[in-house]
Structure 1
Amino acid sequence: MTYYYAFRGGPQIKALPGTPDFVRQYQEAHANLRKPRAGTFMSVIAQYKAATKK
């Protein structure tokens, strides 16, 4: 059996490669990777930058 992961040490992707569900799970895993941990100064900066883009 072959297992697929979004990145080394990341979450397992349980969909078959080449399917839309596989792409969605991959993109969600990478989007969550870029989010700073809540309650940190970096999360405050990220919220500020997101608010100024509107």
Structure 2
Amino acid sequence: MTPRTPVEVLDLAAALKKENPARTAAQIQRILADHAGLVADGPDAAAALR
């Protein structure tokens, strides 16, 4: 089974959370979307951070 979310996106989401643990999944999702719409077709940010 191939993951739907690219590893690069998951790595960026994890780095954003590590950089600021108070950052919410919604905030991370907005940041990822600002980086060329990386999460537009993927799972929500909360799922990516689990």
Q: Tell me, yes or no, whether TM beats 0.5.
A: no
Q: State the structure with bigger RCO (CA 8 A, min sep 6), 1 or 2.
A: 2
**Structure 1 or 2: larger strand share?**
1
TM-score between both structures, scaled by the size of structure 2: 0.30
TM-score between both structures, scaled by the size of structure 1: 0.29
**Structure 1 or 2: larger helix share?**
2
Pick the structure with greater CA Rg: 1
